[in-house]
Every structure is written in structure tokens, then in C-alpha cells.
């Protein structure tokens, strides 16, 4: 028998607004109204400024290690713009822009990196999960959330974010396998920023695209210019429409770049060429939008100055709230662990001592 072709694969690449400000009027028509585009620009600018302020907070000892988002703001923001309010947004740790658009208070993110666990209690009803620092675990959570919604007959879907390095984790493969085989409405969003901390993408994946890893599980896949807010919105819109209509997952590879270090504990100069960083700075998602809104006569220097004044005021207020939040009672370590506290732990909570001496004092105050 002759050899035949078992499968032919095509992965579309989406680009609408390029780094030179060129805009595809056909693909981009009606995708983002001008009024919304200005709001998205301000949201990205606010997230970028927070990165700058957070860097100074960490360096001055007012906050722990912090991962900057700069350069990757368009991906999560584009998704948050498209998702319904009751869809799940399941992030890792570089999706502040999307979380803020959903209404998560800025101080929640600050509290997390300041070491206050209350920063992980995402306020309801924002349908956002806590920041996931372990690489890849959140993809399983997203699949489970969407599976539960499907089981209950709800139309809610989930959208999860992860890096290119996370696609080498077993968690990704398990989540993708479950979602594809059981028809679970999840949008898998890979932020391919070319670096898994200090490991380059070419070592992580030998395929021409990371998107091909989604193809292996039978998911429709797209590769997207992740620094193009219009392309991000376009791709997530297509994926969410499919998830709602067919109840099936999709995989989107957002090609982007982290302009800063992996975290404030990292020094990317040790492993990245400055020429590479400079080349990606020219593809900055913020610069693109600024060029477009100026071309459309929607923006000028006066509006930029007024916007930055608002942003600086809002961020200063968020820092004030985070740094001056009332300290949690020490009893929280007991109260949020057990539904009914055992007697010995109840004694520990009351005395904050674990020794027999402490317990004796609690049971016989006269002996104290």
C-alpha cells in the first residue's frame, strides 16, 4: 500500500496592530471600540507604573520578591476584556493587568508579595483564583473549575495562563488531556516570553511553535502576537465562542516577552543579550496603542499627563491600604485550620504556648 499523509497541521498566526503602528482594518474592525481602547490603554499604563513602584518597594525592604509584568500586559488584559464576569480567570503570577480589569483590588496583589496571606483571598464575585507560584498547577484548577461548571449545567468557562516553561510540566499535559478528551470548556493561554526563568525556549521546546503541544491533544490552536491587544482580544474571542458553543478547549500561544527580570531576585543580564531586550522594547504593547490612539486623534500629551496623575494617586492609595492594613489576630492560624478546634489546640490558642507549663496556667490561672 502507498504511504499516505496521516495528518496535515496548520496553526494560524494572528496580528492586527504591529510594532510600527500598522493596523489591519479588516481584522480589527469593530473589535475594540475607541472608548474601550482608551480604557485598556490606561489599564496597561497603570499596571506598568505599579511594576516600577513595586520594584522600589522591594528594593527599600517594604515588600518581598516581586515579578514584574512589563511587556506582557496585553495578554491577560485582552482575555479579561473578552471573558464574561462569571467566567473563571485562573492565573499564575504575571497577569496583574487582567486581574485589575476584573476588579481585583491592587492592594490584594501587593499584600500577596508583602507576605500577607489575605492577598490570596481574591474578593468575590470576581471569579479569579489566587496567584499560583508553583509552575503549572493552576492549569489543573482551571480544568476542574470548568468541569464542575459543565457538570452543573452552567455556561461558565475558564481561562488559564501559564508560561512556555510550564508546558514542559506534567500538570499541563494532564490538564490538556482531561480537557480535550472530556470536552471541558477551557481556554489554555500560554505566554511564550522565550525564557523559563533563565532557560531559553529553544531548550524547552524543539518544535517550531509551542502551540503544537495543544495540537497533540486535539485542540484547535492559534499563535498570537501577544504584544498586540487587538490580536489578543481576537484570539480569546474565537476561543471563548468555541468553548460556549461546543464546550471544548482551545490553546493559544501568545508570543510576547518579559522586559524585566524574572523577579526582583533575578538578574537577567547574566543570561540575556541586551540587544534582544532592546529589540523587544521596540515591540512594547503600550507604545503600539499610544501610536494608534494618537493617529486617531484620541490622545495627546495633556491627556497622558492627566492619566499619569490619576494612576499615581490610585497606586499611592493602594500602597497606603496595603501597608496600613490592620494586623490579623494570631488566632487565625487556629481558626482557619479546623472546623471544630480540638481541646489541646484550643488551649494553645488561648495561651500561645505548647508546653505543659502553659497548659497548666490556662487550666489554673491562680498558679500563674
Residue 118 annotated as catalytic = no
CATH for 299: 3.40.50.970
Same domain? For 200 and 300 the reply is: yes
Residue that wins the pLDDT comparison between 352 and 113: 113
Residues 255 and 339 in one domain: no
- The pLDDT of residue 334 is 85
Q: Verify that 115 and 58 share a domain, yes or no.
A: yes
Beta bridge partners, 17, equal 23
Whether residue 124 is predicted with pLDDT greater than 80 in this model: the reply is no
Please state the rounded mean pLDDT for residues 104-113: 96
Which one of the listed residues 271, 296, 310, 330 is annotated catalytic? Answer: 271
DSSP assignment of 18-82? -TT--B-HHHHTTTS-HHHHHHHHHHHHHHHHHHHHHHHHHHTTSS------TT-HHHHHHHHHH
Residues 227, 163: one domain? yes
Q: Does residue 262 surpass a pLDDT of 70?
A: yes
User: Is 297 contained in some domain?
Assistant: yes
For residues 314 and 340, membership in a common domain is answered with no
Same domain, 354 and 224: no
Question: What's the average model confidence in pLDDT over 183-203?
Answer: 92
Decide if 49 is inside a domain: yes
Residue 145 has pLDDT above 90, yes or no: yes
Classify residue 238: in a domain, yes or no. yes
Query: Residue 65: its pLDDT value, please?
Result: 93
The whole-angstrom distance between residue 362's C-alpha and the CA centroid of its chain comes to 47
SS3 253: strand
360 and 227 within one domain: no
Pairing label, strands 88-90, 158-163:
parallel
Instruction: Tell me phi and psi for residue 85, to 5 degrees.
Output: -60, -25
Query: Cis peptide before 59, with omega less than 30 degrees from 0?
Result: no
Q: Is residue 144 part of a domain?
A: yes
Average pLDDT, integer, range 242-258: 96
pLDDT for res 141: 97
State the Cα angle at 166 between 201 and 272, rounded to 5°. Answer: 35
Span 178-206, mean pLDDT?
92
- Assess whether 191 and 171 both reside in one domain: yes
Is residue 112 part of the annotated active site? The answer reads no
Average pLDDT over residues 153-166: 95
Evaluated on CA atoms 140, 141, 142, 144, the torsion sign reads positive
Alpha helix positions (H), 167-300: 170-181, 201-204, 212-215, 229-246, 274-281, 285-295
8 domain-assigned: no
Cα(158)–Cα(147) distance, rounded to whole angstroms? Answer: 9
Please tell me whether residues 250 and 287 are part of one structural domain.
yes
Catalytic residue among 112, 242, 258, 288: 258
Residue 176 forms part of a structural domain: yes
Same domain? For 248 and 99 the reply is: yes
Query: Are 16 and 231 in contact, with CB atoms under 8 Å apart?
Result: yes
Residues 299 and 346 placed together within one structural domain of the fold: no
Q: Judge whether residue 362 has pLDDT over 60.
A: no
Taking alpha carbons only, the member of 134, 79, 85, 52 closest to residue 311 is 52
262 is catalytic: yes
Three-state DSSP state, 251:
strand
pLDDT tens profile 66-106: 999 999 999 999 999 999 999 999 999 999 999 999 999 99
Provide the number of structural domains found in the chain. Answer: 2
The confidence band for 218, taking pLDDT boundaries of 50, 70 and 90, is very high
How do beta strands 221-225 and 13-14 pair?
A: parallel
Domain, as residue range, for 288? 13-323
Quick one: pLDDT at residue 335?
82
Domain annotation covers residue 7: no
Q: Are 275 and 341 part of one and the same domain? A: no
Task: Identify whether 1 is part of a domain.
Answer: no
What lies within 8 Å, CB to CB, of 161 at 6+ separation is: 75, 76, 79, 90, 91, 92, 94, 95, 98, 138, 189, 191
Amino acid at each position: 500500500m502507498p504511504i499516505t499523509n496521516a495528518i496535515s497541521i496548520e496553526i494560524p498566526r494572528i496580528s492586527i496592530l504591529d510594532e510600527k503602528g500598522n493596523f489591519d482594518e479588516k481584522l480589527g474592525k469593530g473589535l475594540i471600540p475607541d472608548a474601550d481602547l482608551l480604557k485598556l490603554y490606561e489599564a496597561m499604563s497603570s499596571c506598568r507604573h505599579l511594576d516600577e513602584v513595586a520594584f522600589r518597594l522591594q528594593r527599600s525592604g517594604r515588600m518581598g520578591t516581586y515579578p514584574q509584568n512589563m511587556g506582557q500586559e496585553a495578554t491577560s488584559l485582552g482575555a479579561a476584556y473578552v471573558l464574561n464576569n462569571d467566567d473563571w480567570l485562573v492565573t499564575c503570577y504575571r497577569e496583574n493587568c487582567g486581574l485589575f480589569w476584573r476588579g481585583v483590588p491592587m492592594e490584594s496583589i501587593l499584600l500577596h508579595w508583602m507576605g500577607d496571606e489575605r492577598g490570596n483571598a481574591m474578593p468575590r464575585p470576581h471569579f479569579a483564583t489566587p496567584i499560583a507560584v508553583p509552575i503549572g498547577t493552576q492549569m489543573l484548577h482551571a480544568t476542574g473549575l470548568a468541569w464542575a461548571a459543565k457538570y452543573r449545567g452552567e455556561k461558565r468557562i475558564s481561562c488559564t495562563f501559564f508560561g512556555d516553561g510550564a508546558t514542559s510540566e506534567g500538570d499541563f499535559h494532564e490538564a490538556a488531556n482531561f480537557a480535550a478528551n472530556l470536552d471541558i470548556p477551557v481556554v489554555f493561554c500560554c505566554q511564550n516570553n522565550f525564557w523559563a526563568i533563565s532557560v531559553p525556549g529553544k531548550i524547552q521546546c524543539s518544535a517550531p511553535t509551542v502551540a503544537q503541544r495543544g495540537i497533540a491533544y486535539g485542540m484547535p490552536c492559534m499563535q498570537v502576537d501577544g504584544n498586540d491587544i487587538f490580536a489578543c482580544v481576537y484570539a480569546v474571542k474565537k476561543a471563548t465562542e468555541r468553548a460556549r458553543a461546543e464546550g471544548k478547549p482551545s490553546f493559544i500561544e501568545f508570543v510576547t516577552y518579559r522586559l524585566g527580570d524574572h523577579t526582583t531576585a533575578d538578574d537577567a543580564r547574566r543570561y540575556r543579550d541586551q540587544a534582544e531586550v532592546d529589540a523587544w522594547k521596540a515591540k512594547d504593547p503600550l507604545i503600539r496603542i499610544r501610536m494608534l490612539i494618537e493617529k486617531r486623534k484620541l490622545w495627546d500629551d495633556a491627556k497622558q499627563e492627566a492619566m499619569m496623575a490619576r494612576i499615581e494617586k490610585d497606586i499611592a492609595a493602594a500602597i497606603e491600604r496595603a501597608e496600613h492594613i490592620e494586623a490579623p489576630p494570631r488566632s487565625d492560624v487556629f481558626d482557619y485550620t479546623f472546623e471544630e478546634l480540638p481541646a489541646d489546640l484550643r488551649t494553645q490558642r488561648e495561651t500561645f504556648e505548647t508546653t505543659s507549663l502553659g497548659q497548666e496556667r490556662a487550666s489554673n490561672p491562680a498558679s500563674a
